[in-house]
Chain A
Amino acid sequence: MNRAEILEKIGTILNSVLGHSNFELNEELTAKDADGWDSLTHMIIITEIESAFGVKFKLKDLNKLQNMGNLIDLVSGKLSEK
C-alpha cells in the first residue's frame, strides 16, 4: 500500500468519526486543522485506523505524532513489519 492509498483510507476514517470533511487532506494536516479532532476523539480515530489496517500501535509511537505525514510513516512502518 503506498502513501496516497494510506492517506485516502485514513481520510475516510476521519470523515466517518468526525462526521464532516471540512479539512484539507494532505500530509501536513494536524489535529488542530480538523474540527472535532481533539483528545477525546483522537483515541477513537486511532482505534479505527488500527482495525482498518490490521495493525497495533504503541503509546510511545502515538506520543511522537505531529501531523498526518508522521501518521502515514507509522502505519506504513507497521504494515511493512507484517
Chain B
Amino acid sequence: MNKPKVLVTTIVSACVGLFFLFCLGWAILDHYGKKTSDLGGKEAPPINKDLPNDFTVVALGDSLTRGTGDESGKGYVGLVLEDLESEYNHKPLFHNLGINGQVSKELVQQVKQTEVRRQIKAADVILLTIGGNDLFQKGQTLIDYDSQVITESQKEYVENLDEIFKNINQVNDKATIFLLGLYNPFIGLDEDLDTNRIVRDWNNETAEVVADYKNAIFVPTFDLFQLSVKDYLYSDNFHPNKKGYRLIADRVAPLIKWEDETQ
C-alpha cells in the first residue's frame, strides 16, 4: 500500500464526510424552515384521454365489484372479463375501482376524483354495483326494522345514484353503464317476505333512475338468488360465493358488445 494512495483516500473521504455533514444540516433546516405550500392552489390537471385506446372496462362500486366471497378473488367482474377474453380472443383493459363497504354517498365522491374521471373517460363499458350497503347496513336494517328509516335511506340513495350517473355522463356519455340490481341475501331467514318487498321496491326505484339515462342498463339479479339462495352465498350469508358470481357474470357478459375501435 503506497502512501499517496492512502493520503488521497483520506482526503477524498474527509471531503465526502464534510459534504454529508452539510447535507444533514440542510435536511434539518429545510424540515423546520417554515415555508408556505407552493401546491394546493394549483387547479386540477386536465383529464386527457391519454390512456390506451383499447376496449376498456371500468368497474365501480362495492364488495361485489371487488369480488368478496369468491375464494379465487375474481368476483363477477373477473369472470365477465374472462368470458370477454375467450369470446374475442383479446384481453380488454380493465380498472377495478370497487371498495368494500362503499355506499352511494362515497361513490359520488369517488367519481369526482380526477384520476377516476380520467379512467371513466377512457371506458367503453362501466360495471356498477352500489346500494347493497345503503340498504342492508351490515344487517342492521333487519335487526331494527323501521320502514321510515328505509324510506329515507332509499330517497338519499336515489339522489346519489342520479348524481353518480350525471357525473359519469359528464365525462363520458358513450360508455354503456351496467348497473346491477340487488338480490335478497336474507330471503331464507324471512318468513313473511318483508325483506323481499323492501328489496323489490329498492330495485324498482333504481330501475327508474337508470331509465333516465339512455346509455345505462339495469341488470336484475334478484331472481338469480330467489330459489336456492343458500347454494349461491358465501359463508357470511351476505356475499355471493363463486357459483353466485358465476350466475351474475353469465347474465352480464352476453350484454356487452365489444366494438373494436382500432379497426
Chains A and B come from one and the same complex:
no
> Could you tell me which B residues sit within 8 Å of A by CB distance?
none
